[in-house]
Structure 1
Amino acid sequence: MPFTWRRLTANWLATVLGILQVGVAIGAVVALLSSVLPALGRGATPSFLEASYHPTRASSDGAGPAAASLFEPQDAALVRHEVDGVTHAATLARQPLVVIEAEGRRHLVRSVGATEPDYFRLTGLQAVAGALFGPAEMAQGAGVAVLSEVVARQLFGEPADALNREIVMLSVEEGLVLQGRLGALPHGMTYPPRATLKVAGVFRRPETASAASVDLLQPEVLVPIGWLEPDGGARTGGAGPFRGHRADTLYVAAASRSAEDVRREMKVLLEPLLEERRLQQALESDDRSSTWELQVTLGGFAGRVQERSRALSGVLVGAVLAAVVAAGLAIGTAGLVHTMEHTHAIGLYRALGATRGRIMGRVAAESVGVAGMGALLGVGLAWPMQRLLGPLLALLPTASPEQHIQLAALGIGVGLALAVGLVAGWYPGWLATRWSATEALREE
Structure 2
Amino acid sequence: MHPIELLRFAAGAIVAHPMRSALTSLGVVIGVAAVVVMTSIGLGAQQRVTSTIAGLGSDLIIVSPGASRGGGGFVQGAAGSGQSLTDADAEAIASQVENVAAVAPVVRGQAQLTADGANWNSRIEGVSPDYLIARDLTIATGRMFDDREARQGRKVVVIGQTVARELWGDLDPVGRRVRVRSVPFEVVGVLESKGQSSFGQDQDDVLLGPLEAVRSRIVGRRARGDTVQTIYVKAVDADSLDRVQEDTTNLLREQHRIRAGDDDDFQTQNMASILAASQAAIATFTVLLAAVAAVSLLVGGVGIMNIMLVAVTERTREIGLRMAVGAKRSDILIQFALESITLSLAGGLLGLLLGVLGAIGIAKLGSWPAAIPPWAGPVALGFSSLVGLVFGAYPSWRAARLDPIEALRRE
Q: Tell me the TM-score normalised to structure 2 length.
A: 0.50
Q: Could you say which structure has the larger radius of gyration?
A: 2
TM-score by length of structure 1 reads 0.47
Counting helix residues as a fraction of each chain, which structure ranks higher? Answer: 2
